Structures are given as structure tokens and as C-alpha cells.
Chain A
């Protein structure tokens, strides 16, 4: 399909003033076609495939019968729901106190806490899961060993290979969502309301419970829902932890349907509840967040003073550092130990230190180094395509260039309700087989990544476009420039920083995407996340840790770049939009 190429090449367009026909129309049509290709068609294919018989393609309900015909498969569905609820609740416990302390109090180390939440945020969940296997393996995990050393007990209390273990690990790496939402909301609560409570005799705690938190409640609920959705859509952490823990969730079960024999049709049917739940909850989330409770009432008028916590501020600080220890300090200490160890279980001995793991990853392994390059190349192309595509759409929508432009905007944010695993199955069903035969190609990975991150691009692009006064473009038009000239010479330069920000916000998560990649990669298009997952198969945690650290270290300069261009913790702030 010819439209697959990024449609936004700035082809020099001659201004044709005489006719009303503006050649930028071609561009709009191309964008529409691309969106149909990226968003609508995989989705339609997914639904159709779920009703197709395997070889003949005839209409059938048997895929649904197979998908829900065994207790084990149905159990996996309920496990996912339970896991989502447990993870979200735990994430709330981690995030809400931190968010309140950072946004509203005089707790020391607020900047540090924000930074540590950012560090959590850029840690891929599967890297966190591996670190926690090292920390809380039932016998050899470091926490258990320290416990046994300290108490002389026979066994330690922690077992990562359990439902609770998995829920904690997922919560630890998804709580930043709630943190982001909640701080954003709390920063809008004016102190006047709290003062009113104080004057009427409420202490700081009561004020928080009765006034501040209820005001932020919609945001907290919104964050909880995002965490829930994140938990049920994750593939990596469940695959690493739930298999030894001996239970299945939807995503690991879906992966089994891709096993022997390959049953894409059954997988499609089995993906439907995940899709349904996600769509439903995203609608609920939007409803809740849109109502915004009463926060918006004060707008930005009110004055905001930090609440003085007195001695309690150190308690809060202790809690923040406790959460940070669980999510950042401990995991990274032991990832680094493992990456430089001959055998991680032997601990911090000098004769256990080696560079061999890094050497193996970077120079000896046939595909590990290539996989990192693949990750960065695919993520780079996807981010570029997504940024320009969504910029185009946001522009169309904001300037009302075509009737029903809003539909395009909707298409751009629609992938948000499609879990990565489900999206991948849709792409697989639509584009892997002939005629397009994109199976195993880099293109199918890039297309899937682009689609997955369209919503991030769109939200940023439309915020940016809306901040532009159309008069500037009109000036171009009045002087005889085409709309394309206006876009190229005025809009794009003005939005440079925003575009870079949006690009990084897509690029960074795309370099670690696993849920979609695991279904779409081919032997020559392996990305780093898949490589890490493969290595976990053999339990090669030393090398795996080395590769995961390489990936993290490569991200740091990008983060620095983003912060230079857009201000400190841009990832956190901008994801709140």
C-alpha cells in the first residue's frame, strides 16, 4: 500500500491561488487513509477474525467456544481482573501519600521524590520484575537472605512467585500514573478551602481527609483505572513471574494460543473481554476526570501554601524513601550487582565481579547488540511518523479544515483503549498474511508502535496547536502562501519544542515496548525487550541485567535532552495531560 510511507514529506507545493483547490487537500486525504490503515483496519480484522473458521474463513462461533470452553482459560480471565484490582489498589497506596506530600506539604526532598518517581517511570515493568526476582526469590532472593541472616530463620517471608508478588511488582512500576494525576489535581486545590477547614477547627490530617483528598478524588480514581488497565494488559512481568507461580492471566494465555498450533482466530476471540473491559473503563475514566469534581472551580486564582507537617514531615519523607527503595534503590543495586556478577547468587564478592556479561551482550551474542539498535531505529521512525501524523490531524481538527474532522481526532486517541497485546493480534491478523505479507518485517513493528503511541502524540499535538493563534497562519495566507507554506514556515517552527517533547514521549516508551513486539517480531527484527524476555527463558539473569542496564543507560541522554528542551520532569508533567 503506497500510503504506508510517512505522508508528511514536506513536498514543495506551488501556491495555486487562482483555484480554490488547495493541494494540501491531498495531504489530508493521505492522513485519513493512513489512519484507516493504522487504526481501523486492524481493529476490524480482529473482530472479523474472531468469527472466522481457521482454514476456510467461514463464519463460526467455534473460536469463542474454544476460547471459553476450558476452566483454565476462564480462570485466567478472572486472574487478570483480580490482578488488575490488586495492583491498582497497591499502586494507590504507594502513590497518593507521595503525591499529597509532594504537591501540598513541606516534606523535605520533594524534588528528589519527583525525580525518583521519574526513575520509576522510565524503568520498564519487565526490568523491574527481573530485579524483584533477584530480591524476593523465595529462597535465594536477597531480602529473604537478609531476613534469614538477621533472624536466623530457616526461610524468608517473601515469595515473588505468587499472586501477591506479581501484584506488588506491577504496582511498583505503575504507581507513577496515579502520582502524576494526583499531583496535577492537588496543585489546583487552593489553600483557601483548607484554610476554611482549619478555621472551623479541623487539624491538618482531618483537612486532608475531608477537604483535600475528596477534591482530588476524581483524579485519583482516574489514575487507579489507568493502573488497572496497565496491569491487565501487561505481558512481560506475568510471563516471568506467573509461570513459576503457576497461574495464568489473559496475556500469557493469549501467548499460548499463538503456540502450537497457532490459533490466531481463538486468540482474537479470547482478546475480546480484555478489549471490552478496557473500552468500558476508559469511558468511565474520562467521565470521572472530565467532571473534575470541584477542583476546577477555583481555577488558578487561589493562593497555594504548603501545609506545614511539623515533625510528621520526616515520617512522610521516610515513607517516600521507602517507596523509592522498593521501586528504585533496591532493584537497581541488585541489577547492577547481577550485571557484573559471574553468578548473582554468590553476592558481592570481589572474585565474583566480571565484565563478561557486558562483553557477551555487546560483542559475542549474535543478535543482542543488533536488538538494541533495532529498538532505537523502530522507535525513532515510529515516533517521527506518529508526531507528524498527529500534528496533521490536530491541525485539521483545530482549524476545522474538513467536515467531521473530530472523527480523525477520535481515531488518533482510539488506540489508547486497545491493549498492546490485542493491538498486536489485530495487526497480525490484518497484515501478517498476504497480500501485504508484513509478517516478520520491520515495517509491521514500526506500524504497530506508531499506532500504539498515536494517542500520546495526538494529545500533545492538539494541546500545542490550540495554543497557536490562527492569525499568524492567516498572515501567510493573506500574503499568498498556501496552507502548506503556513504549516512548514510558521506552525512547525513555532511548535519545535512541543514536537520534540512529544517525540521523546513516544520514543522512550517505544524503545521498551514488549506486549505488541512479542507477537510481531521476526528473527531479524528482534528488539531489546524481546531479547530480554528470551533471556529470561533460560534464567540468564546476569546477562539479562546487563542488557537491561545498557538500555536504561542509553535512555539517559534522551531524558537529559527532553529536560533541557522542556523543563524538569517533562515526562511526568506532560503525561498528565
Chain B
């Protein structure tokens, strides 16, 4: 028995026997399928690769990790669907709207992971019908380069980014690519109206694509403050880069990112097993290593990250995201030029 499966067996030791038998059968069937393809916008590239590798080490099943921004992953998926191809087995976007639409079109296979009761309660049963499930969570917060900005000068609330002193010094991602950025834009619009972005435009932000692009922009000293993701920023800071986060007083934007199994997948068992895997302690540990919020309560929060209970959180509803993100992408393009 490999070390990984031993660990899984231990992790499962307290679960009901029936479920364990099911998982064993699932594991066997999944191994026969041998591989799966994972379209993923959660995590950084490194984090996604690490998680994929963890699964392979545990079960010997290859994971084709296709890590892109949320909208690019969705675009790819829509093209697959349009051409009657099922390439993607597990779809992990950061834009909730994708799930609302795909579910309505009947694109998902229903599967509720056996491991669901083991994750923190806040993350359970995200979709009451059981088609998609929380597999990652993160925050959009204010981030800054500590070599250029002192903590007391760092922005404290979202409106601080509009201050003229940050002209030419702000970095963001692009809602047309990133689900995190899209959700953030929607939340800002809800709080302050679109004027927020008319004003932000005057500060000439540098617009990347992924939200993780802000990390690069800050690290390089290209920009000094940003609307960034807590996870990728803290991960980079832990490796010695001059970065810090500032939890905005008007609310950090919580992004719940689900995953779902695509209908017609050629690797149904591997896909199910992968969903189970994302709820294991191992996966949570890998996630925490990359400064994601661990789903399993046993795994401690990454160092330097405030526990979520101590942070003021804002979060649009699924319905708002579904309708709102396509709108704000268009508005963004009109305001910022592309």
C-alpha cells in the first residue's frame, strides 16, 4: 500500500463503514480510468499543479491540470460544449455565474462527495441540489509593496485606492478574465456605484489579467498597491517578497469557488474520486501551503492570514453574480478601454 493511500485510509478511519466501502469501489473504478482533465481557475498555477500532483501520488491517476483564468476556462468549456466534446471532467471556476448557467442547462453530473460532512460547516451544501460544491475559498483584499509603502500609509478601505496619491501606482486584474476580479468589481459597484471605477480610471491602474498578476506587479515594484487575492499575496510574501495585505474596513470580498463534474465525462469515477480528494486533509494541507483557506477544520489557517471570523466580509449572492458579472465586464471595457 502506498503511503498516500495509507494516509487516506487513516483519514477515512472514522467514517461510516458503508461510505468507506463505496470509496474503495470508487477508487478501484477510478484507477481503471487512469486520468482526468481538470479545468481550474482556483489557486495559482503552482497550487493547482501541486494539488493535481497530490492526487496522482495518492492514486496513481494522472491529472491534466489546465489552469487558466476563470473566463478563459469557461470560454474553453463553452467551445467544448458547442462542439459536442467532453474534454473537461472537473470544472473549477471562480465565477459563480458559470455554475448557475451551466446547471440550468443541465451540463453537470450530480454528485455529493461522501467527505462533505468533514469540511467546515460554512462550506457545506453550497448548491442545495448537489450539482456543485465549494472547493476553494479566498478573499480579495487590499495588498501593497512593503518596500515602497509603510503600513500606516497603506490603504485601509477600498475608497482609499481612489486617492490621487496612488496615481500610476494601482494594480488590478481584469474582470473579463478573472472570476475573483469580476466578483470584486461587482462588490465595489454594489457598495459605491460605478463612479468608483470612473474615479479609479483617473488613477490609471495597471490592468493585468489574472488577479495573481497583481502579485507580480507589486513584487517587481511596477505598482505599489492593489486589489489582490490574500492567498497568492501571502504565499509570495512568505517566500521573502516585500508584500503585505490590508483587510479593508468596508469589507473583504469573499469568493467561494465551487467545482462540478461535467455531464458525459469520460472519467466519471476518477472525477468523483477527485471531488472526494479535494475534501481530504491532504488536499486542504496543500491548499493551506499555498495560502488558500483550508476546507477541513483540522488544518490550521496559513500563517499570517487572519481567521475569517475576525474579518468583515462582503459577498454577492449567486444570483447577483450570475447576472452582474457579464454586465460589469462590459462596463469595465467601456470605462477602461478594453
Measured CB to CB, the residues of A under 8 A from B are 72, 137-141, 155, 161, 242-244, 246-248, 252, 256, 258-262, 342-345, 360, 364-367, 432-434, 437, 439-440, 522-524, 526, 534-541
From B53, B75, B168, B336, residue with most partner A Cβ within 10 Å:
B75
Residues of B within 8 A of A539 (CB): 208, 210, 212-213, 215-217
Residues of B within 8 A of A534 (CB): 67-68
Residues of B within 8 A of A262 (CB): 75, 78-79, 82
Among the 9-residue stretches B37-45, B110-118, B290-298, the one with 4 or more Cβ atoms under 8 Å from chain A is B37-45
Give the distance in Å from the alpha carbon of A558 to the alpha carbon of B63 in the complex: 33
Give the distance in Å from the alpha carbon of A440 to the alpha carbon of B49 in the complex: 22
Residues of B within 8 A of A433 (CB): 82-84
Taking a contact as CB atoms closer than 8 A, the residue among B63, B210, B222, B336 that contacts A246 in the complex is: B336
Give the distance in Å from the alpha carbon of A367 to the alpha carbon of B64 in the complex: 7
Residues of A within 8 A of B241 (CB): 343
A537-B68 contact, Cβ under 8 Å, with A258-B79, A440-B85: yes
Interface size on B, as a range, is 35 or more
In the complex, are the beta carbons of B216 and A538 less than 8 A apart?
A: yes
B76-110 CB mask vs A (1 if < 8 Å, else 0) is: 10111011110110000000000000000000000
Give the distance in Å from the alpha carbon of A252 to the alpha carbon of B241 in the complex: 33
In the complex, are the beta carbons of A540 and B336 less than 8 A apart?
A: no
In the complex, are the beta carbons of B87 and A440 less than 8 A apart?
A: yes
Taking a contact as CB atoms closer than 8 A, the residue among B85, B222, B333 that contacts A439 in the complex is: B85
A537-B176 contact, Cβ under 8 Å, with A138-B168, A367-B65, A440-B83: no
Give the distance in Å from the alpha carbon of A200 to the alpha carbon of B151 in the complex: 75
User: CB of B133 within 8 A of chain A?
Assistant: no
Residues of B within 8 A of A258 (CB): 75, 79
In the complex, are the beta carbons of B83 and A345 less than 8 A apart?
A: no
Taking a contact as CB atoms closer than 8 A, the residue among B66, B68, B223, B239 that contacts A139 in the complex is: B223
In the complex, are the beta carbons of A437 and B84 less than 8 A apart?
A: yes
User: CB of B16 within 8 A of chain A?
Assistant: no
In the complex, are the beta carbons of B222 and A523 less than 8 A apart?
A: no
A-B contact pairs, 7 of them (CB 8 A): A141-B222, A246-B338, A261-B78, A538-B45, A538-B212, A538-B216, A540-B216
Chain A, residue nearest B70 (CB): A260
A252-B85 contact, Cβ under 8 Å, with A367-B64, A439-B80, A537-B209: no
Chain A, residue nearest B82 (CB): A262
Extra pairs beyond A440-B87, A538-B216 (16, CB < 8 Å)? A244-B207, A248-B338, A260-B71, A260-B74, A260-B75, A260-B78, A345-B221, A437-B84, A440-B80, A440-B85, A523-B66, A524-B87, A535-B45, A537-B213, A538-B44, A539-B210
Distance in Å: Cβ of A350 to nearest Cβ of chain B: 14
Give the distance in Å from the alpha carbon of A71 to the alpha carbon of B213 in the complex: 29
Residues of B within 8 A of A139 (CB): 168-169, 220-223
Give the distance in Å from the alpha carbon of A246 to the alpha carbon of B334 in the complex: 10
Taking a contact as CB atoms closer than 8 A, the residue among A246, A360, A523, A536 that contacts B207 in the complex is: A246
CB within 8 Å of A: which B177-234 residues: 177, 206-210, 212-213, 215-217, 219-223
Chain B, residue nearest A535 (CB): B45
User: CB of B238 within 8 A of chain A?
Assistant: no
Chain B, residue nearest A145 (CB): B221
Residues of B within 8 A of A522 (CB): 80, 85, 87
Distance in Å: Cβ of B12 to nearest Cβ of chain A: 26
Residues of A within 8 A of B174 (CB): 243
Distance in Å: Cβ of A295 to nearest Cβ of chain B: 44
Residues of A within 8 A of B76 (CB): 523
Residues of A within 8 A of B82 (CB): 262, 433
Give the distance in Å from the alpha carbon of A541 to the alpha carbon of B209 in the complex: 14
Number of inter-chain CB pairs below 8 Å: 140
Taking a contact as CB atoms closer than 8 A, the residue among A140, A244, A345, A366 that contacts B49 in the complex is: A366
Give the distance in Å from the alpha carbon of A242 to the alpha carbon of B67 in the complex: 23
A364-B220 contact, Cβ under 8 Å, with A246-B337, A437-B84, A523-B66: no
Give the distance in Å from the alpha carbon of A432 to the alpha carbon of B85 in the complex: 10
Interface of A is mostly: loop
User: CB of B257 within 8 A of chain A?
Assistant: no
In the complex, are the beta carbons of B52 and A366 less than 8 A apart?
A: yes
From B72, B174, B219, B222, residue with most partner A Cβ within 10 Å:
B222
Give the distance in Å from the alpha carbon of A246 to the alpha carbon of B174 in the complex: 11
In the complex, are the beta carbons of B71 and A259 less than 8 A apart?
A: yes
Distance in Å: Cβ of A42 to nearest Cβ of chain B: 16
Give the distance in Å from the alpha carbon of A252 to the alpha carbon of B176 in the complex: 12
Residues of A within 8 A of B65 (CB): 366-367
User: CB of B264 within 8 A of chain A?
Assistant: no
Chain B, residue nearest A543 (CB): B45
The 5 nearest A-B residue pairs measured at CB = A539-B216, A345-B220, A439-B83, A246-B337, A140-B220
Distance in Å: Cβ of A169 to nearest Cβ of chain B: 17
Chain A, residue nearest B325 (CB): A260
User: CB of B252 within 8 A of chain A?
Assistant: no
Taking a contact as CB atoms closer than 8 A, the residue among B75, B83, B168, B220 that contacts A343 in the complex is: B220
Residues of B within 8 A of A536 (CB): 209
Give the distance in Å from the alpha carbon of A536 to the alpha carbon of B82 in the complex: 27
In the complex, are the beta carbons of B39 and A523 less than 8 A apart?
A: yes
A364-B222 contact, Cβ under 8 Å, with A524-B64, A539-B212, A539-B215: no
Give the distance in Å from the alpha carbon of A523 to the alpha carbon of B88 in the complex: 8
B304-338 CB mask vs A (1 if < 8 Å, else 0) is: 00000000000000000000001000000110111
In the complex, are the beta carbons of A434 and B45 less than 8 A apart?
A: no
Distance in Å: Cβ of A248 to nearest Cβ of chain B: 4
Distance in Å: Cβ of A120 to nearest Cβ of chain B: 26
Chain B, residue nearest A364 (CB): B49
Give the distance in Å from the alpha carbon of A243 to the alpha carbon of B74 in the complex: 20
Distance in Å: Cβ of A313 to nearest Cβ of chain B: 40
Give the distance in Å from the alpha carbon of A365 to the alpha carbon of B47 in the complex: 11
Give the distance in Å from the alpha carbon of A366 to the alpha carbon of B85 in the complex: 22
Distance in Å: Cβ of B119 to nearest Cβ of chain A: 25
User: CB of B69 within 8 A of chain A?
Assistant: yes
CB within 8 Å of A: which B280-307 residues: none
Residues of B within 8 A of A246 (CB): 207, 336-338
In the complex, are the beta carbons of A537 and B326 less than 8 A apart?
A: no
Give the distance in Å from the alpha carbon of A202 to the alpha carbon of B23 in the complex: 91
Residues of B within 8 A of A366 (CB): 49, 52-53, 63-65
Give the distance in Å from the alpha carbon of A343 to the alpha carbon of B217 in the complex: 11
Chain B, residue nearest A536 (CB): B209
Give the distance in Å from the alpha carbon of A433 to the alpha carbon of B75 in the complex: 16
Chain B, residue nearest A155 (CB): B168
In the complex, are the beta carbons of B223 and A260 less than 8 A apart?
A: no
In the complex, are the beta carbons of B87 and A72 less than 8 A apart?
A: no
A137-B52 contact, Cβ under 8 Å, with A343-B241, A366-B65, A523-B37: no
In the complex, are the beta carbons of B219 and A343 less than 8 A apart?
A: yes
Give the distance in Å from the alpha carbon of A540 to the alpha carbon of B49 in the complex: 14
A260-B326 contact, Cβ under 8 Å, with A246-B207, A524-B87: yes
Taking a contact as CB atoms closer than 8 A, the residue among A244, A432, A524, A538 that contacts B37 in the complex is: A524
Give the distance in Å from the alpha carbon of A538 to the alpha carbon of B65 in the complex: 16
Residues of B within 8 A of A342 (CB): 239-240
